[in-house]
Structure formats: C-alpha cells, structure tokens
Structure 1
Amino acid sequence: MRVGVICHDEWHPAEVVQQGFTKLANDQYEFDYIEHAKDWSEAWMNQCELIVLAKSNRVSASDRTPWLTMEVQGCFQAFVEKGKGLFVIHAGTVGYLEEPLFRSLIGGGFRSHPAPDQVVLRPAAELEPFVVHDEHYQMAFESGDVFLTSESACGSYPAGWRRKQGLGRVAVLTPGHYVEVWQHPSYQKLLKRELDWCAGERLNRS
C-alpha cells in the first residue's frame, strides 16, 4: 500500500518522521515523502491509499505562509469521504485550529504546549501506560473515539482518537516531537495499529 507522508517544517524536521517509520516500511506499506507544500497535488494524493500528515500549516521550513487553503481542505475531505485514510501525527495538528473544514475532519486542533517534560501516555486498551519526554500538546478536542490520553503537570488531554467520515477513516496521534518518542516500542505499536486501522479493508487488497 502506498502511503503519502507530508512532513517537515521549521520545528519538525522530516528526519524525525522518516526515522520513526523506518521499521514500519515493509511489503504492506511503502512510504512516499514530500517536504514542501509545492510538491503536494490532488493527483499525487489520489495515487495513495493513505495520507500521513505530520506537517504544520506552513509551506516549508523557511516559508511560513499557510498552505492549507480552502481548496486543499476540500481535497482532503473528498479523499477521506470516498473511502481512503488520513493519519494525523503531532505537527499535523498545528496551525489548523482556525481552519473549520479541516478541524472538523480531524476532530480538533492544537492549542498550545508547555516546555518539553515528562508525559505519561495512557492507551485505553491493550498497551500499558508509558512515559516519554515530549511536548505535551494541549488540544481543542471536538469529536472522535479517544484511545490515548496524555498527562503531565499541565493536566490531561486527549492524545489519540479515531473518527469516520463518509466511507473513510481518520486517526490522530498528538505525541511525537522527538525521534525517541517515535521509536519507543509502545509508540511504534500505536503507529502500526493506527496505520492498519486507517487502511482498513484496503490493506488486505493491496
């Protein structure tokens, strides 16, 4: 299955995402990365069965112009509603709070975070709680089935959720500023589980 990965901005280098997915690249998943918004197109996206968004709403690391126009938001919505998958990770929630169409599609948006510190991640089932050093994202959560919460000195927030829209599926994971978080064994299990869930029945047909 071809997975299109949109990543890289001034705070979140592509290398973190790429290293995080290294062990998950196999016969099931082939990752195709783009790092600059100019390289995105509806045609490129439609060649993929699943999109991972791990990039804030900036054209590039040096260009802070928002890239998610209403037209692009509509393309994402259509992509999901026709039966494909969208997996939003960490930076992919940043800068979209004022974009109501996309915020509704992913079920919320990033508000802020305190200085990096110890964060306890509590999966709702299967996995045991685990601790990471990370940015604790404080989220404006709107809709979805929460499967992960995050706790620190600043409180508790939804950190992972799923939702369906039309025929497609959307998953969100908010941890992941550092490569050590991505490579944590329990986080790797969450990444794989949500990739599989977003792919749905298409994974067995690929």
Structure 2
Amino acid sequence: MAQRRALVVRGGWEGHQPVRATDLFIPFLERNGYAVRVEESTEVYADAAELAATDLVVQCVTMSEITREQLAGLTAAVVAGTGLTGWHGGIADSFRASSDYLHLVGGQFATHPGKEPCERHGGEEDNFLPHTVNITQQGREHPITAGIEDFELVTEQYWVLHDDLNDVLATTTHPTRPWHPWHRPITCPAIWTRLWGAGRIVVTTPGHSLDVLEHPNVRTVIERGMLWATRTASAS
C-alpha cells in the first residue's frame, strides 16, 4: 500500500500558536505512517497536483484570507477525496470573508462569551469559562468519539453558526447570564464531521491553547479525527 500523505497548513493569527500547536501532532502522523509536508501559507492549495496526491490536510490558520484560486483548489481536493481536519480557530475561524469556505466546513466561529465584566482584566483569560463538552448519541457510536464520556474544560467556549449537514459528535451549551443579551441557553456543536463529495471533514472546536490540545480527550479526538478523515479506499 502506498504511503499516506498529510499536508499541514499553518499560519494566521499567532495567538493560536500555529507552529507549536501543529508540532504536537506531526509525530503522531509520522508514527502512523504518513509522509508529512508542512506549509506556512495557503498558497499550496492552488497546486492541484500536490493536493491530488494528498490524503489529509491538517489546517491551523486563524483569522486569515484565502484567494479564490486557493479555495477552489482546496474544495476540489476535498470533493475528490482528500480529508480535511483542524481545531478551534484554525479551521472554524480561518477565512471570515469567504462564505464558500463556511459552506465547505459547515461551521463558523461567532463568539466566545466572556466572564462577568467585573472579573475581566484585559487578558485572554477573560474568555476562559468552565463548560462541558457533551458527547451526543451519534458521538457515542462514532469511531472518533466512541468511549469518551462528557468532559469539562476551562477555556474558550466556541459559539458557532452551523447547518444540518454536519454530523454532530459533541455539543456544548452556553447558559444565560445576567451580563449576556441572549434569553435562553444555546447549544452549539463542539465536534462534528461533514461529508463533502468523496471527502471527509472533521472540526474540533476546543483547542485555543497548548494545554487544551494536550487534554487527553481533546487530543484523542483530534488524532482519531485525522485517521478518520484521511482519504478512504473508495475515494482513491
């Protein structure tokens, strides 16, 4: 069997430490038999031949921009069977100006609610809230999340805009708070998969910082998601 090829694409906002974050997972890919190529920009997405030979794209690019040609290349590759995965803003808040990208991945970061105003001090911790990641019934049966129970995190809790094409493996619920303007709890997907043509997409919304990525459940989901999203035999 030919060696599987993974393409790690990283960049954008440095607050998500795209180099250190992706470096956590490159050894896992290599141990699982992938030849790994790393790119520091999305220019590679316009290289049709390179993407056609890629079985998995791991993207960690936050608050950036993508050209029409690059997005067309990425989308065509996924439709043809290349897998796409990532975490947190590196996939769910990559290219805010592109509705076509939102259509591809199925969810867009909207906000991460903050603490009570009197508890905020101007740092990233202002948006670190205790919350639960709840595994859905579908998630309990899916190979990415099977055997994982609901778990607690204290970090950014993503509120995402999404559609019903996603297969939601885990959710998180934003409660009502006196200082927030919404009037009832809002449940958002926290982990989902999405089938796009012959390709598989996996989005994991926890992952703001290295400690979250190293949480046993988060890391397990991301690593399993990489394997699951990789081009399948039927898409070869």
Is TM (by shorter chain) over 0.5? yes
Match of 2:36 in 1: 31
Contact preservation (8 Å) 1:176, 1:182:
yes
Name 1:117's counterpart in structure 2.
129
What stretches of structure 1 move > 6 A for 4+ residues in a row?
none
* Superposition map of 1:161-176 within 5 A: 161-176=192-207
Matches within 5 A, 1:125-136: 125=140, 126=146, 127-136=148-157
Structure with the greater alpha carbon radius of gyration: 2
What is the distance in 2 between the residues matched to 1:111 and 1:150? 14
Instruction: Find 1:137's aligned residue among 148, 152, 158.
Output: 158
What pairs with 1:87-106 in structure 2 (closer than 5 Å)? 87-91=85-89, 92-106=91-105
* TM-score normalised according to structure 2 size: 0.73
- Distance in 2, matches of 1:117 and 1:89, equals 18
Unmatched 5+ stretches in structure 2: 114-126, 141-145, 177-185
Aligned to 1:63: none
Q: Structure 1 residues 6, 69: closer, same or farther in 2, change over 3 A?
A: same
SS of the residue corresponding to residue 172 of structure 1 reads strand
Percentage of matched positions with identical amino acids: 25
Report the TM-score, using the length of structure 1 for normalisation.
Answer: 0.83
Residue ranges of structure 1 left out of the alignment (5+ in a row): 59-65
Distance 1:118 1:140, change over 3 A: same
Counterpart residue identity of residue 56, structure 1: T
Q: CA deviation at 1:153?
A: 4.5
CA contact (8 A) 2:128 2:155 kept: yes
In structure 2, the partner of 1:11 is 15
CA contact (8 A) 2:9 2:59 kept: yes
Correspondence 1:176-187 to 2 at 5 A: 176-187=207-218
Backbone CA RMSD of aligned residues: 2.4
User: How many residues in Structure 1 have an aligned counterpart in Structure 2?
Assistant: 196
